[in-house]
């Protein structure tokens, strides 16, 4: 049953009218709403999942709102579950400590700090820090590990309170949270307040250009309201007196940007100029860039559905690995359910023993999945496929391991 949601007709960033459809994925359950097995027969709300393009600033965004408090107040994603991501966070902490000369008199704030995966590095270095995390269940994990964490949604009001209590931050990190914020102007205003006159903001966002090139439609889900290019991001920051000073291309999440900003006016680096030039050359400011993506998505989902039906019909046992939100979008967009996939393995205890939203595929431990003796494993979080392949081969799995995005292939 389709649940009520708030329909959006104006850009969340600049207020202009929303233009054409970028990607229409029909209706789906919320991607991180994992289901206890005893509730398998209960009502499961579904919502429209359609991304549109702003007619002016070209920000790609969902045209519906699912309440953020419903999604994030009790969340099932723990950053520390991925060794790849822990290494990425460690390198970021070291780099920023050196770049900004952070020490015992500095102050670092991370917005959407999750389970303390990043701030643990600053705690170990005795650099004062604070996490701001809206999911109470995840914040408690960080607090238990000795990482100062406040349970709050970040915005202007929270920033004012934190600055009054602790002073401005030398560094504010906001990694992979800018997609999750329905009121993005309130969030940006909070960032501007949090850094005072001299602080630095470091933001990581999946790059829309890489999303399009890699047909990464499975990163579209209700928790992700916004999909960023540097073009759209700079327009947002300028509205709040901020300017991009540096940018770095990252391999994470299929291709991301680490964007660093300060109070305007600030001079952009050569790297900023290079990304601006790339986006201009590719036409991200023009409507034509955004057309045709939906058709490419349908080709991927049709191909996956055809393969898995043929595999199961021929007697092959198919499992999946990684109960990731992107995997839920992929399976539900392709119409794949527990009738076709025996189970999905995941190392997160918060997901084990539950069912995937929509498809109702059971989530089990990797060991339990291997005990089913699958012939094929479909890797859902393709962005960490190499890590998963390494672990599964080390555990003795000799069958096929595949990804479906941007096309079905064995890895």
Pull the structure tokens for residue 236: 């947002």
pTM: 0.90
Residue 30, C-beta contacts closer than 8 angstroms, at least 6 positions apart? 45, 47, 66, 70, 71, 221, 222, 223, 357
Residue 308 buriedness (CB in 10 A; 0-12 / 13-18 / 19+): buried
Is residue 322 within 8 A of residue 346, CB to CB? The reply is yes
Pull the structure tokens for residue 8: 């959006």
Q: 3-state DSSP call for residue 232?
A: helix
Pull the structure tokens for residue 98: 């050196």
Give 275-301 pLDDT, tens digit per residue.
999 999 999 999 999 999 999 999 999
Q: 3-state DSSP call for residue 117?
A: coil
Helix axes 156-166, 184-194, angle to 10 degrees: 20
Is residue 259 within 8 A of residue 286, CB to CB? The reply is no
Is pLDDT of 142 > 80?
A: yes
Is pLDDT of 92 > 60?
A: yes
Q: Is the peptide bond before 361 cis (omega within 30 degrees of 0)?
A: no
Q: How far apart are the first and last CA of the chain?
A: 37
Q: 3-state DSSP call for residue 282?
A: helix
**Residue in 194, 173, 191, 218 with CA at minimum distance from that of residue 408:** 218
Number of H helices, E strands in the chain: 13, 19
Plot region of 204 (φ>0 → left; ψ -120 to 50 → alpha; else → beta)? beta
Distance CA 129, CA 102 (A): 11
- Residue recorded with tokens 């400590």: 97
Is pLDDT of 2 > 70?
A: no
The average confidence (pLDDT) of the chain is: 93
Q: What is the mean pLDDT of residues 72-96?
A: 74
pLDDT attached to residue 69: 54
Is residue 236 within 8 A of residue 184, CB to CB? The reply is yes
Q: How far is CA 139 from CA 21, 115, 135, 299, in A?
A: 36, 6, 6, 40
Give 31-70 pLDDT, tens digit per residue.
988 999 999 888 899 999 999 999 999 999 999 988 655 5
- Residue recorded with tokens 């399009």: 212
**How far, in whole angstroms, is CA 46 from its chain's centroid?**
20
Question: Domains plus CATH for the chain?
Answer: 6-61 (no CATH), 79-290 (3.40.50.150), 305-410 (3.40.50.720)
Give 229-283 pLDDT, tens digit per residue.
999 999 999 999 999 999 999 988 889 999 999 999 999 999 999 999 999 999 9
Give 206-229 pLDDT, tens digit per residue.
999 999 999 999 999 998 999 999
């Amino acid at each position: 049953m389709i649940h009520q949601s708030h329909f959006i007709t104006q850009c969340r960033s600049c207020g202009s009218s929303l233009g054409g459809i970028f990607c229409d994925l029909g209706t789906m359950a919320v991607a991180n709403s994992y289901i206890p097995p005893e509730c398998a027969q209960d009502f499961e709300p579904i919502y429209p999942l359609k991304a549109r393009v702003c007619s002016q600033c070209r920000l790609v965004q969902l045209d519906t709102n699912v309440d953020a408090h419903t999604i994030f107040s009790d969340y099932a994603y723990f950053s520390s579950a991925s060794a790849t991501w822990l290494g990425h966070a460690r390198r970021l902490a070291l780099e920023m400590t050196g770049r900004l000369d952070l020490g015992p008199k500095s102050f670092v704030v991370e917005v959407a700090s999750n389970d303390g995966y990043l701030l643990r590095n600053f705690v170990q270095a005795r650099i004062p820090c604070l996490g701001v995390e809206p999911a109470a269940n995840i914040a408690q994990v960080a607090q238990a590990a000795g990482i100062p964490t406040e349970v709050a949604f970040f915005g202007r009001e929270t920033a004012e309170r934190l600055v009054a209590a602790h002073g401005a931050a030398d560094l504010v990190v906001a990694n992979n949270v800018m997609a999750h914020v329905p009121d993005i102007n309130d969030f940006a205003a909070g960032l501007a307040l949090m850094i005072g006159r001299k602080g630095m903001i470091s933001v990581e966002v999946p790059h829309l250009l890489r999303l399009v090139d890699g047909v990464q439609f499975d990163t579209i889900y209700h928790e992700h309201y916004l999909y960023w290019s540097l073009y759209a991001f700079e327009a947002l920051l300028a509205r709040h007196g901020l300017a991009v000073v540096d940018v770095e291309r990252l391999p994470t999440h299929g291709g991301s940007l680490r964007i660093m900003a300060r109070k305007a006016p600030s001079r952009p680096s050569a790297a900023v100029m290079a990304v601006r030039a790339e986006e201009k050359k590719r036409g991200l400011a023009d409507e034509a860039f955004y057309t045709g993506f939906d058709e490419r998505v349908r080709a991927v989902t049709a191909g996956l559905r055809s393969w898995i039906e043929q595999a199961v019909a021929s007697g092959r046992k198919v499992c999946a690995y990684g109960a990731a939100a992107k995997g839920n979008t992929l399976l539900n967009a392709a119409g794949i359910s527990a009738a076709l996939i025996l189970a999905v393995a995941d190392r997160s205890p918060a997901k084990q023993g539950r069912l995937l939203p929509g498809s109702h595929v059971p989530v089990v431990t990797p060991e339990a999945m291997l005990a089913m003796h699958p012939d094929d494993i479909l890797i859902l979080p393709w962005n960490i496929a190499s890590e998963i392949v390494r672990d599964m081969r080390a555990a003795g799995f000799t069958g096929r391991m595949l990804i479906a995005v941007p096309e079905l292939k064995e890895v």
